[in-house]
Each structure stands twice: as structure tokens, then as C-alpha cells.
Structure 1
């Protein structure tokens, strides 16, 4: 089980308990989407939608979402949108009207892992024997084209899209990421996508050949960009900004790349071609120590991956770059793994550019003059405008910044898809920011309520009730009573003080009336728990104590 920020103090936990006693509402919705979508469907920006449970779009259906539409993910059911092989998602927003997938919690109550995320599965090549596999995350989603893959497969369009507060960890190494791309072909369009406050990786590619431009990973919990199982796409213009207090117990990296789960040489080898990234870690200075100890590396290339990075900036991590294992080390020596014309900064002595493969001197390799790489002790030496600002990050190079020059696109891997630049990193020093106006750096406080819904909220019934359980404290059984003021879908569930659901007691429609639940907690350990009633648009919580 993953834990966000092991630095939580007892004061913070006390605040969680106090908040659980308060009355809260969920954002109102016009339509609940659940189950299977087997025929093509259209979502309008004039409505608010709720993803309930695993929503599967199945071949040959096309789900089209209008620019400006807001879709919530349901927390208790782990709402997740899954585009299966042969189906398509057409989510084509605009800079002024992005499409937003976000938490149903109201402003101030949102957090990483409030819902599942978006999963897209395609028919392109992966390096798993047999050509197909099941994606992690517990959804059962199959990806890859099997014996007859199509690397030009088309899963639709994801353009000007924000994905906020997704990412659920079911088990270690078995999570739903913010955006999961499994075996996606290169006819799919992925541009201008922001993943914010993801409870697991922001972006993860499992094989495939999908290309992408203009990606943002903002305040994620685990890795920003994770690539494996034979992914061979091209990606240009992307950045990541991290909250120094939030990292994953498994170890948080900017890049984490593998050939596969055990480091075989299965083909095709994982070889993403990456250019014009800016990856900003938790450390504005090498003397800064007030960051979560689960932060690891700016780039961790491991398990025989051939990940190649060009014209990019990585800075502010405890370890800058780790070339891990003989498969990676020999690829660096053989020039099938390349890092060129890039900047690494914020490098503590001994923790800058390292490897655990004896024949490779990673620092000397990185410093090879023909490679055009540069490194700096402090992130400030890179001269970006305001890269560590968590409410309004600005990664544009300032006047005199070394990032304003030094790029090269003569490498044969950088032809066709890539736009040549003279600068390294995600942004032009002229100040042309491709992230504005569509990106959002304060999703916690953004109000997504439609004006019609504001009227609905003002007339919501206030007489749904949730009584204090009795006895309390209890061992191991207690009684919970709630009342429903009008027919509604009711959810009653128990969470621990970290907000993780440990028991679902009710999840169905109820007629008007009073209901009694006898809850047996014999499988739980002694501690403080919170039980929550969601009925219609009302949310009520109470705390209870189990003493064994």
C-alpha cells in the first residue's frame, strides 16, 4: 500500500479527523456513466458527468467529448475511463476550452487518488511474448496487437485535456496511473495533456509507438514519465514540477524506464526518443533537505532500456541520473542509449551522474565532448524564470540562461516528428508558453460548477442524516444508522485516517426511510476510522474508534 508523504505529523492527522466531522457535498452531476459503452456516444460541455466504477468503451464504439466538458471521477467506486482495443476516444479540446477530468470533491477537499484515471489500450507492438498482456491496475484491460500488431493503430485524439487528482494504487506495482497508454499506435494524437496530483505515475507507456507533444506532470506522487515493455514513441516538449513534500514509498523519479519487468532483451527494446523536456525535482538548492526522503532520481534508466534523451534539462533531484545494470551500461557504451545536448543540474558530490555497472564511468561518458552535455552544481545556474513555484511555475529561460542555446537536431533519430530548436528544455527563451492558457496550476481551488448546478445546489435537501455509531468505542461490532430524505443512490463506506477505503457497506439505490447497519470490524486493527454517507449530492462523515 502506498503512503503519500511520510512526513505527515500528528497535527495533520488531527486535522483530517476534525474535517471528517464536518458536513460536505460532492459536485452535482447531470449524468452518471457506468458499465460498458458499446455504441458511439457524445458528451456535451453543457452537462457534468460522473464516471462510476470501471467504464469500458468497447470496439467499435467511439466516445466523443466536446471541448470544455468536465467529467468527474467517483471516489468510492474508483471511477476510471477505459478505452479498449479497437475503440476510440475523441477528446479534442482547445486552448480556451480544455476538457477536464477531475475529482468530484469540492474545492479544498481534493487529493491524489480521488478517482482512477484514463486508460487507453491499442493494437501496436509490445515486447511481451505472445504480443498481448494485461495492464496493471486491476481493470483486466488487455493491450497489444498479438501476432499481428499494427504500429499505425489509431486510438483517437487526446488534445487540450487536463487529468486532475487521479491515480490509485491497489497494490505495489499494480496501480492505475493518471494516463495509462498500453500498446497505442502512432496514428493516435496526444498533445497538450496535463496530469496533476496523480496518486501514482502521471504518465505511463506500456509498449506501443504513440508520439506526443506538450505534456505536463504537475505535483505527482510517483514517477512523472514511466516507459516500458517496448515503448518506442517520440515525445517533444514536456515538463514536470514536483511538490517537495509528496513522494511515493516506492521511490519517485522524473523518468523511470525499463525494457520489461525483469530486464530481459525482449524485442522491441524500450527506446523512447525524448527531446525538449524540463524535469524539476524537489531541491531548489543542493543544501535543501526539507523534502520527502522517498524522492530518488531525475532519470532512472534500468532493466535493459535504451531510453535516449536530447536537448533536455533535469535538475533538483537527490540523484541526477542512474544508469542501472549491465544491459543499460553496455547500451551506453555501444551508443544505442544516448544522452545528447542536455543539462543536468543540482548535482551533489557523488550523486550526479552514476552507474552500478563497473565497465562504465557514467560521469566521463556523460561529459564526452562530442555529446554536447552540460552540468551545473546548482539549479539556479540553469537560469529558468521560476521553476520551483508550485502555484505558478515558469520554466522559460531567463536572459543569459545557458538553456537558451546548445540544442542540436542533427542526430538521425530527431528527424520527421521533431521541431528543431536552438534552446534546450521545454520553453523558448522568447517567452512563448505553450502551456497557457489551458493548463491549471491551482486545481485544488478551481470551481467547476455550472450556473444551472449552482441553482440545484441551493435547493438540495439537507435532511439526509448519519447518526453517531453505537457503541463507540466498539469491539468488534457497532451499529450505524442513516436516513434518506428522498430516493437516491446511497454509498456508505469506512476509511482509515489516511483516507483509504477499508470497507464498503452500501452501494445501491435506497427508497426514502431510515436504515440500520450492523458493522463487524473483526478484520481491522485497533485505531480511528471514518465512516461516510454519500446520498444524492450530500456527503456526511463521522469518526469511530475500534479498541481490541
Structure 2
């Protein structure tokens, strides 16, 4: 058995895990005023957005990993990052930052609060250099700075957002207006949105690892000249819940009038999985996997769409022209089990099937059963998105097209959002309805793995220094933290070098008499154990 004595850093931040999240309720800090100076929200508080909370030009809002932010329902609590402001929401795989409903568990619903809105200075195509974002928040976006930086959203969850005031005037789960490519968006989950999960209005921001879970309207909506790139995105829909306006996975316009305004909407998506599970009660308001219209030149590569009533609608003469010219590309995609694979605008004679099925495009029509998936891929409570090893989705991707040959896109072999790595593990939550956020701390929601076994503190009770013992089934880098009974972190040990599989003992720091919790976090799991110090 190996023994390590690690240096201890005393911190003031909270950290929790499911084993001790009930130790204390965090104070609630209500925020309603504009943030005009650099501000940090810490994980030992819960923050309540009361109305439209704005981060002003020149100010940076930093949110610590593990922090919970709630939106007040009756005031449509919303966080708005204005042009020139920054949001530094940089969570961790085992400490995601969570924006969620203020309603108690079991009583939450889509549209309980507004959402998160980022407004930048990158180009858009509405008349004039700048424009006003939809949603009634009087926010201005757009400009000439393609690489504008609005901050970081990484390992972030946004739950029960989305307020539709009226058609074409909604707050989405995550609204991005004129956001530039200097902004980092990676590992974001939007769940139970009352409108679109994600909507881009112009801008050039890129993103990876996006989740749209059980939203109401569209999953990925792009408008007004959005030209960014997205890789690895998954959508899982509730087949019985859709929007009366018609729900699509992709909806894309150049602008609301279908004009030739520039920059043209020309976003590029690759490695998307869009799952609409089969159901005898499929909501009739579900429409299309991809609705590309109003002169959009959206392109989609290496993706899979299952169960949508219509696979692809190329809507309108300008959009058809974009497909013919090659501005709009659809390559190496799979449409599975659509009742109608293709559609065009009423009166159009455009051969959508011929466009999609051209041999040079490498697209495929099949059934969901032929994909090599299983029921877990479509579970609405605990989805497991990895395809089986023999799935046809494990191969067939191609990155030779110039739209996706650049450095941003990982050159993977698989189609859809997943190969053999489950990038949703550890930071996501597919049952936010029943999660207790009163402690104000979040950790990985992944079920306990077998990587760490036999976690215990000895002696317990301890009349002095104690040790933490555990067995690693697989080698791992481990981080240990100690909290007191109020949930306050009293010690954090620097992460170890990678430990080999086997039994290990770590010496805990000397502590005053009291009740404590020691937690260990690896790449796969966070586990915790209580112990007592008597003197």
C-alpha cells in the first residue's frame, strides 16, 4: 500500500457532492441591478436573477465552478451580457455551473425564467451595423469585430429557460447575438427550454459539445448571418411535447424576409445526433430534422437524424439556389425513419431528393433499427448516447470538403456526435426536475462508477490526524477535499500525479474537533465519506 502526504491549500470556496450536499443550505443572493464593475459569484451562494440582470460594457462577471444561479419566475429572470461585457462561466467536468429554475424540485417547467443572452460586436445582416435582439430585453448586438470576445461558457447547464412573449420575440435557452469567434463555448447543456434551445443571430462564434434536451421549439436555430462552426451536438426530444409553431431540429434563415443581406447565414455543423424517439403519441407539431429557408446557406456534415416526420425541407428559391451553387452543403449525413425524407416549398419543382442523394455527397437513407443503436440512446431519463461498436455510425465521416477541412474540426471517423467517448459524462443532468439545488453546490451527476472502491477514513473517530483509504480499479489522477459540517471547504489537496490501480492511502491534514466530509474526485466520479475528529 502506497502512502502520500500532500500539501494542503486552505480555500474559502465551497465544493459539494451528492453524498454531502444536504449538509447546509446556501445563502441566496438576489441580483437585480446592472453589473458595472468586475464581479465574482462564488459557489458558496445561490444567486437569484430578479428581472433582467445586465453585465455592462467593460465589466466582467466571473462565476466560480459549481455555482448555482436561479431565475425568478414572475420577473422572467435573465442574464444579459451586453456588448463589451464578459461572462467568465468556466465550470469543470465535476463542478458544472448551473442556471436553473427557482421553483422547487418536482414543480419546475419550461419557461420558468428567461435564459442566458450574450451580445457581441461581430457582424450581423439586419439593416445597420447594430440591431436590437429579440425577447424584449432592449439589447443591442452586432458590429464589425468578427473575433469579438464575450467570455467563456464551459461546462455549463441551462435548465427550464425560454420565455416566448409572442411569435419571433422570444428569449431562448442560450441566445447569441453578434457573438464573436474570440468567445469560448464548449460543453453546454440546455434542458427543457420553453423556446429554442440555442439561437444564433449573426456572429461568428464557434462551439463544441452542445446538448439540447427535451426542448419545446427548435434545437439549433441560426439567423441574420451566423457564420460560426459547431462540432459535436446532440438533441434528444420528448416525442409528446412540441411547439404549436412547429418544432424542428435545425431551423435556419438568412433573415426573416429571405433577403440577400450580407453576411449570409452560412454556419457549418458537423457531427450532430438528433434523436426524436418513436412514439404512438408523437406530437403533430413535430416537423422537420432540417428546415433550411429564407436564403440560408447552412451546411451540415457527418450527422444523423432519426424519427423526424420530414428529413429535409429546402424552402424557397433562394435556398434552392444556395444548394445548387454549393454555398449550402449537406454531406455524409444519415436520415433514418422519416415518414417523408424530403420536401420543397409549395409549388417548387426543385429535386431535393436528387440533391441529397447525389453519390458525391455520401448521404444515406435508412431506418433507425439499422443504425446499431439501442433503447438507452433514446432514454428520456438516463440516456446513453454511444452507438454500438458495430453501428454504421462508427464510420463514414469525411472532412475533405473545404468548409470543414480547417483546424477547428476534429477529423474523426464517426458520424453523429459520438464514437467511443461519452463526452456527456460527469457534468450533465438529465433529471433536473428532481435535483435539489438548495445547497448551492454542484458536482458531477454521473452515477457512481466502480473506479473508486472501499472509500473510508481511519481511524474514525480520529483523535488527531486521520487517513483516507481507497482502491482504484483503474489508474487515475485524484483530488481530495475536506468540508466541515456547514459545507465550508476547510482544505483542498493539490491533485496527485496519476495513481496506479490498486490500494492507496492519503494522509489528511490535522483538523479541529468536529464532523467533516472527505471527498475524492477522479475523471470518472466524485465520492465522499463522513468522519469525526474528537480533539
TM-score, scaled to structure 1: 0.74
How far apart are 1:42 and its partner, in Å?
0.3
The corresponding residue for 1:399 is 389
The corresponding residue for 1:34 is 32
SS at 1:384 equivalent: coil
Provide Cα deviations, 1:487-545, integer angstroms capped at 9, x if missing partner: xxxxxxxxxxxxxxxxxxxxxxxxxxxxxxxxxxxxxxxxxxxxxxxxxxxxxxxxxxx
Provide Cα deviations, 1:49-73, integer angstroms capped at 9, x if missing partner: 1000000110100000000000110
Residues 173-188 of structure 1: matches in 2 within 5 Å? 173-188=168-183
Q: In structure 2, what is the Cα distance between the partners aligned to 1:272 and 1:162?
A: 23
1:254 equivalent to 2:249? Answer yes
How far apart are 1:359 and its partner, in Å?
4.4
The corresponding residue for 1:170 is 165
Provide Cα deviations, 1:204-232, integer angstroms capped at 9, x if missing partner: 00000000000000000110000000000
The equivalent position to 2:358 in structure 1, one of 348, 365, 368, is 368
SS at 2:33 equivalent: strand
The equivalent position to 1:439 in structure 2, one of 428, 431, 442, is 428
The equivalent position to 2:96 in structure 1, one of 98, 104, 107, is 98
The corresponding residue for 1:201 is 196
The equivalent position to 1:67 in structure 2, one of 62, 65, 68, is 65
Contact 2:356 2:363 in 1 (8 A): yes
Q: In structure 2, what is the Cα distance between the partners aligned to 1:132 and 1:289?
A: 46
The corresponding residue for 2:48 is 50
Q: In structure 1, what is the Cα distance between the partners aligned to 2:293 and 2:440?
A: 50
Q: In structure 2, what is the Cα distance between the partners aligned to 1:237 and 1:384?
A: 18
Greater relative CO, 1 or 2 (CA 8 Å, sep 6+) = 2
Residues 110-129 of structure 1: matches in 2 within 5 Å? 110-129=108-127
The corresponding residue for 2:313 is 322
How far apart are 1:256 and its partner, in Å?
0.4
Q: Where does the alignment leave 5 or more consecutive residues of structure 2 unmatched?
A: 1-24, 442-535
Residues 3-18 of structure 1: matches in 2 within 5 Å? none
The corresponding residue for 2:22 is none
SS at 2:134 equivalent: coil
The equivalent position to 1:308 in structure 2, one of 299, 310, 332, is 299
SS at 1:96 equivalent: coil
Q: In structure 2, what is the Cα distance between the partners aligned to 1:57 and 1:434?
A: 31
Contact 1:29 1:50 in 2 (8 A): no
Q: In structure 2, what is the Cα distance between the partners aligned to 1:137 and 1:213?
A: 25
Contact 1:169 1:175 in 2 (8 A): yes
Q: In structure 2, what is the Cα distance between the partners aligned to 1:103 and 1:241?
A: 20
1:339 equivalent to 2:330? Answer yes
The corresponding residue for 1:355 is 344
The corresponding residue for 1:516 is none
Contact 2:26 2:45 in 1 (8 A): no
Over the aligned positions, Cα root-mean-square deviation in angstroms equals: 1.3
How far apart are 1:395 and its partner, in Å?
2.2
Provide Cα deviations, 1:126-150, integer angstroms capped at 9, x if missing partner: 01121211111111011001xxx10
The corresponding residue for 1:76 is 74
Q: In structure 2, what is the Cα distance between the partners aligned to 1:451 and 1:272?
A: 37
How far apart are 1:394 and its partner, in Å?
2.0
Provide Cα deviations, 1:334-355, integer angstroms capped at 9, x if missing partner: 111100011111122xx11222
Contact 2:272 2:416 in 1 (8 A): yes
SS at 2:389 equivalent: coil
Q: In structure 1, what is the Cα distance between the partners aligned to 2:372 and 2:202?
A: 35
Q: In structure 2, what is the Cα distance between the partners aligned to 1:192 and 1:175?
A: 24
How far apart are 1:401 and its partner, in Å?
1.1
TM-score, scaled to structure 2: 0.76
Moved more, 179-188 or 166-175: 166-175
Provide Cα deviations, 1:156-175, integer angstroms capped at 9, x if missing partner: 00000000000001111111
Q: Where does the alignment leave 5 or more consecutive residues of structure 1 unmatched?
A: 1-26, 453-548
Q: Moved runs in structure 1, 4+ residues, more than 4 A?
A: none
Contact 2:110 2:161 in 1 (8 A): yes
The corresponding residue for 1:242 is 237
Q: In structure 1, what is the Cα distance between the partners aligned to 2:31 and 2:440?
A: 22
How far apart are 1:106 and its partner, in Å?
1.1
- The count of aligned residue pairs is 414
Q: In structure 1, what is the Cα distance between the partners aligned to 2:223 and 2:440?
A: 44
Contact 2:68 2:98 in 1 (8 A): yes
How far apart are 1:28 and its partner, in Å?
7.2
1:218 equivalent to 2:213? Answer yes
